[in-house]
Chain A
C-alpha cells in the first residue's frame, strides 16, 4: 500500500495538517481525508466545475490538483464561504432566486462566482456566462444562477 505523506496547508483560514497518498487528488483529500464533502465530483477530469475551490485565491478544479501540491498554500472550499455563521451574499441570493434544483452543482457555482466577483465586482451578463462556462448545471438552464450572481453584483455597485 502506498505510503502516506503529511501535508501542511491553510484550509478555510485555519492551519491544517493531514495525511494523504501522493496519488490522491485534492478533491479526494478534502472529501475522504478531511471530511469536507461540500466539493463534489461530477467528472473527475476538469469538465464540470463541481469540485471547484480557491487555491491561493485562484479558481481551480480540485480534481486536477494533487493533494501534496497544496503544501504551504491556502485553500478555500465551499465550507469556507460563509463567514461567522452568516451566509455569503451569493449563498443568500442563490436561495432567493431558486438558483438550485438538485443542488449538486451549487457549491462549485458559488465558489466560482465568488472568484469572479473578487476579480470583477461589476460583471455584465456576458462576463458571468463566460466565467461560469466551466461549471455545468443540468437542472436550471443557468437563468436563475446568472440572475443571482448579477443581483449580488448589483448590490456591490
Chain B
C-alpha cells in the first residue's frame, strides 16, 4: 500500500513545521529516516562562510577570460593575439592551436558518450565557430579587468557562413553542413553523405497501422518547444594550480569531480593520476555542470603562464550563450483510443536540436514520451540534429519536459473528446508493474496510478475552480532515474562519531540524506555522523550527482558502511568478551552478549584499543526504480496581455521512501518551479543570423517569488524494492509534467490548445486572437 503524506498549504502549520524532529519519527520502525534534521553544511551556507568555486583565493592567482565568437557559424581564418600579449599585466594567451590533437573516437566520460574531437572543439573552436558564444581564445592576466581588456584586443578573421538554427533549417535539402565528418547513424547503419542529422532510432511494438485504422478516436498534433537553460545562479568557475612535481589541482563547481578529471585528462592528454579535482560547494547544476567549459582552459593558461595558478569565472552572459542549454524540439504525437477510452495505439516523433555537436537527450525523451501509459501498439522515433546553438547539456530529466508537453496535451484532448475526467482517463490507461515503457523495458513495482489517484483525491482537485479565464489542468510524467557508481569510506572515532567521506557533490542536502542512512544503519544519532564531500584523490571513482542517484546510490554505500562497521565491531567485541561473533547482538544502539552489554559510544572506544577501525564501500546498484509524478495546476489568464498567473499547484510524486522529507519536497517544488518557467516564459531568442538576443537574467526571464504560489506536495511513498530503505530518485521527474499541465489548464481557461512552448504572453495572445478570428470567420491577424 502506498503511504501518502500531504503537505498542503492549508494544512501547513508554521508553528509546528519548523521543528527539526519533523513528522516521520519512528515511521516504519525508522529512527532517523523520515525526520527533518538541519543539514551538516547549513550553518556555513546561511552565514556566507561556505566556499564556492568563485571564492577560491591564493597568492599569485591569475585571472582568465575567454573570447567568444560573435557569429553563429563562421570559418576561423586566423587569430592575431599579438596586441593582447603586449598589454601590460597579461601572462598568457591561448587558442585551439595550444590544445593537443584530439582523437576521433567516442567515449563516455561521465554522462553520455561524446566524440573526443567535439569535446575538445567545444572548449576552444578549431576551424569553425559553431555558435554565438563559442570559445575562440583565452587570456590570463594579473586582474580580471586586464584580462577582459586583453580579450578585446584579440583580432579574429571570420569567414561567415549561413546560420542553421532549427530542425527545419538543419534538415532542408540545401542546408549548410555544420560538421564535415558527421554521418547519420541510423541504428547502426552509417550514412554516406555529410549531414546535420546525427542519428535516428525507432522503438516499435504491435501493429500500429491496424490499431489506428480500427480506432474509435484518433488525435494527432504537432508541437514546437524552444531552447531553455538550466539557470543555476552560480556561473561556472574553476581554478587550476600546478605543483612543482607536476601535479595539478583543480577547484571547480561541478556535479562530478571524477567526470571533470576524466574530461580534462582526455582534452589535455594528461594522465588522471596527475589530476586532483576538488569539488567546491556548488551553486546549482541541474545537469549543466557535468560538461567542462573552463577547467581545461585554466590548466592550459597556467601551463603557458609559467605554471602560475589561474582562475576563470564565467559571467552570466557567457553562461547563457556558451554553456549547455537543453534542446528545442519539433514533436508529432498521434494517439488512438477505443470506444471505452482505452489507448490502443501511440506514435511519437521526436526531433531534438542537439546544438553544435551530436548528443541531444532525444534517447531519454523517447522513453519519457508515452511511459505513463500501457500501450500495446506503439512507435517512437527519435532524431538527433545539429544546429548552430550551444552544445546541449543535460537538464533535469533531460528531454522529458518537451516530450511530455506534447503527449499530455494529446492525452488531455482525448479525454475531453471522450467526455472522460482527465484523471480517470489516466487511471484507466495507467502503466503498472509488468507493463513496458517505449523501448520495451518492463516495469517493476511503480507508482504512476497512485500519483494520479493522489491528485484525484487531493483537496485541490476536489475543490472546484470558479471564474472566467481560469482553468485547471493535470499531467503526468516519468523519469527513469539512475543507479551509477559510488564509493565512500567511514572511519570510527573513539568518541562514537563516524567520519563519512564520499564524493557526490551536495547540491540540495545530500550530506544530510547520506548521513541519515549511515546513522539509521548504525542505530546512532544523526549528529554522530560527519559527512564530507571529498576530492578525487581521497576515494575511488564516483559518478556524477545526476540522474536522481545520489541519495539512492551513495546512500546505499552509506548503508553498506554501516553494516560493515557493525559487523567488525561485533567481531572485535566477541574477542574482548571471549564469545563467538554470532553471540554478539546489536539493538537500539547497544551491543549485547550474555550478561555483557556496551553502548555504541563506549564500544567505539573499546574496539579500537588495538587497531583503528574504518570501512570502505563501492557500489553499483542496478535496481533503481523509475519515478512518476502527476500534477494539478490552476491558472488565470489576463485576456488583455496574455499573461498567465499560477493560482495553485499540487504535485503528487512517487518518491519511494523519503529519507529527509523536507529535501524531497524541496526537489519537487524546485523542479516544478523550473517547469513553470519553461512552460510560460523561458526561451532562447535568436535573430535570423543566429545572434542570441537575451543573454541576461532580465531578458531570460526565470520565475521569481512573485510569479509563484506555494507549491503543495503529496509524497506518495511506494518503496523501491531495489534499495535497502526503499529509496527512489526524486530529483528529476517533477520537471516533466508542468508544461503539459499548464497547457491543459490554459485550454480549460481559454479554449486554446497551445502547440508551442513557451506559452508566453505574446504566443498566447496570438493563439487567442487566431481562435477568435477563426470563430468569427475572419482572416487571422498577422497571417497574410
Q: Closest residue of chain A to B233, judged by CB?
A: A42
Contact B663 A102 (CB under 8 A): no
Once the chains bind, are B54 and A41 in contact (CB under 8 Å)? Answer: yes
In chain B between 6 and 22, which residues have their CB closer than 8 angstroms to a CB of chain A? 12, 14-15, 17-20
Residues of B within 8 A of A105 (CB): 233, 283
* A142:B663 contact, CB within 8 angstroms: no
Report how far A104 CA is from B284 CA in the complex, Å. 8
Does A36 contact B670, Cβ atoms closer than 8 Å? no
Interface contact B706-A143, CB-CB below 8 Å = no
Q: Hey, what's the 0/1 contact readout for A54-83 against B, CB within 8 Å counting as 1?
A: 000000000000000000000001110110
Does residue B36 face the partner (Cβ distance < 8 Å to A)? Answer: yes
Contact between chains at A101 and B670 (CB < 8 Å): yes
Residues facing B in A119-140 (CB within 8 A) are 125, 128-130, 132-140
Q: Across the interface, do B45 and A144 meet the contact criterion of CB distance under 8 Å? A: no
Q: Is the CB of A129 within 8 A of B705?
A: yes
B residues within 8 A CB of A44? 315-316
CB within 8 Å for A138 and B47 given contacts A47-B697, A102-B283, A150-B14: no
B488 CB → nearest A CB, Å: 21
B654: Cβ under 8 A from any A Cβ: no
> Max chain A CB contacts within 10 Å: which of B55, B285, B698, B710?
B710
CB distance from B59 to the nearest CB of A (A): 13
A103 to chain B, nearest CB (A): 4
Pick the contact of A95 from B43, B285, B705 — CB < 8 Å? B43
Point out the residue from B57, B88, B663 that lies within 8 Å of A98, measured CB to CB: B663
Q: Which of B12, B14, B17, B509 contacts A101 (CB 8 A)?
A: B509
Query: How far is A109 from B707 in the complex, measured between Cα atoms in Å?
Result: 16
| B695-713 with Cβ < 8 A to chain A | 696-698, 702-708, 710-711
B507 in contact with A101 (CB, 8 Å): yes
Contacts of A36 in B (CB 8 A): 48
The residue of chain B having its C-beta at the shortest distance from the C-beta of A28 within the complex is: B144
Residues of B with C-beta under 8 A to A1:
88-89, 143, 146
Q: B46–A142 contact, CB under 8 A?
A: no
Contact B42 A95 (CB under 8 A): yes
B662 close to A98 (CB less than 8 A): yes
Q: How far is the CA of A35 from the CA of B42 in the complex (A)?
A: 21
Which residue of A38, A133, A144 is within 8 Å of B662 (Cβ)?
A144
B281 within 8 A of partner (CB): yes
A7 an interface residue at 8 Å Cβ cutoff?
A: no
> Which of B20, B46, B660, B662 is packed against the most chain A CB atoms within 10 Å?
B46
One of B50, B285, B704 near A133 (C-beta < 8 A) = B704
Nearest-CB distance from B636 to chain A (Å)? 15
Give A108 to B416 CA distance when docked, in angstroms.
Answer: 46
- Chain A interface size, as a band, is 35 or more
Which residues of the partner chain B approach A37 to less than 8 Å between Cβ atoms? 48, 51-52, 55, 57
Interface residues of B in 49-91 (CB under 8 A from A): 49-52, 54-55, 57, 88-89
Query: Which listed residue (A23, A42, A101) contacts B316, Cβ 8 A?
Result: A42
A38 close to B670 (CB less than 8 A):
no
Task: Please state if A129 and B673 are interface contacts (CB–CB under 8 Å).
Answer: no
Among candidates B18, B233, B665, B704, residue contacting A102 with C-beta atoms closer than 8 Å = B233
Task: Give Cα A155 to B20, complex, Å.
Answer: 17
B-side contacts of A40, CB under 8 Å: 52, 54, 233-234, 283
Q: Is the C-beta of A11 less than 8 angstroms from some C-beta in chain B? A: no
Contact of A79 with B316 in the complex, beta carbons under 8 Å: no
CA distance A23 to B149 in the complex (A): 13
Q: A96 interface residue, CB < 8 Å from B?
A: yes
A14–B94 alpha-carbon span in the complex (Å): 44
Determine if B232 is an interface residue (Cβ-Cβ < 8 Å): yes
Which one of B47, B230, B707, B710 has the highest number of Cβ atoms from chain A below 10 Å of its Cβ? B47
Q: Please tell me if B674 contacts chain A, counting CB pairs below 8 Å.
A: yes
A48 CB contacts on chain B under 8 angstroms: 233, 316, 697
The reply to whether B39 and A98 form a contact with Cβ atoms under 8 Å apart is yes
**Chain A CB within 8 A of B761 CB:** no
Contact with B along A82-102 (1 / 0, CB 8 A): 100001000101111110111
- Asked whether A94 lies within 8 Å of B233 as measured between CB atoms, the reply is no
Q: Is the Cβ of B47 less than 8 Å from the Cβ of A137?
A: no
Give the docked Cα–Cα distance between A40 and B52 (Å).
9
Contact among B41, B57, B88, B667 for A35, CB-based, below 8 A: B57
CA distance A91 to B509 in the complex (A): 16
B162 interfacial by beta-carbon distance below 8 Å: no
Q: Does B150 contact A (CB under 8 A)?
A: no
CA distance A128 to B708 in the complex (A): 12
**Is A146 an interface residue when CB atoms closer than 8 A count as contact?**
yes
Residues of B within 8 A of A77 (CB): 48
Residues B706 and A94 in contact, CB atoms below 8 Å apart: no
Question: Taking CB as reference atom, which chain A residue is nearest B662?
Answer: A98
* Distance between A75 CB and nearest chain B CB, rounded to angstroms: 14
Nearest residue (CB) in A for B700 is A47
Give Cα distance in the complex from A77 to B143, angstroms: 24
Determine whether B279 belongs to the interface, using a CB cutoff of 8 Å to chain A: no
- B629-674: which have CB < 8 Å to A? 660, 662-663, 665-667, 669-674
Cα A36 to Cα B704 with chains together (Å):
27
The answer, yes or no, to whether A26 is at the interface (CB within 8 Å) is no
Task: Kindly identify, within residues 11 to 28 of chain A, every residue whose CB is under 8 Å from any CB belonging to chain B.
Answer: 21, 23
Is A102 touching B508 in the complex (CB atoms < 8 A)? yes
Return the contact of A103 from the options B12, B36, B50, B665 (Cβ within 8 A): B50
Chain B residues near A101 (CB-CB < 8 A): 284, 507-509, 663, 666-667, 670
Is A140 within 8 A of B36, CB to CB? Answer: no
Chain B residues within an 8 Å CB radius of A129:
704-706, 708
Q: Which residue of B lies closest to A39 (CB)?
A: B48
Asked whether any CB of chain A lies closer than 8 Å to the CB of B282, the reply is yes
In the bound complex, residues from chain B placing their C-beta under 8 Å from that of A39 are 48
Q: Is the CB of B39 within 8 A of A95?
A: yes
Tell me whether B341 is interfacial, beta carbon within 8 Å: no
Confirm or deny: A9 has a beta carbon within 8 angstroms of a beta carbon on chain B.
Answer: no
Cβ of B145 under 8 Å from chain A: yes
Asked whether any CB of chain B lies closer than 8 Å to the CB of A50, the reply is yes
> Can you list 8 A-B pairs, Cβ within 8 angstroms, ordered by A?
A37-B55, A37-B57, A41-B313, A94-B46, A95-B43, A106-B45, A107-B46, A147-B14
Residue ranges of B at the interface with A (Cβ–Cβ < 8 Å): 12, 14-15, 17-20, 36, 38-39, 41-43, 45-52, 54-55, 57, 88-89, 143, 145-146, 230-235, 281-286, 313, 315-316, 507-509, 660, 662-663, 665-667, 669-674, 696-698, 702-708, 710-711
The 3 lowest CB-CB distance pairs between A and B, nearest first, are: A38-B48, A104-B283, A141-B673
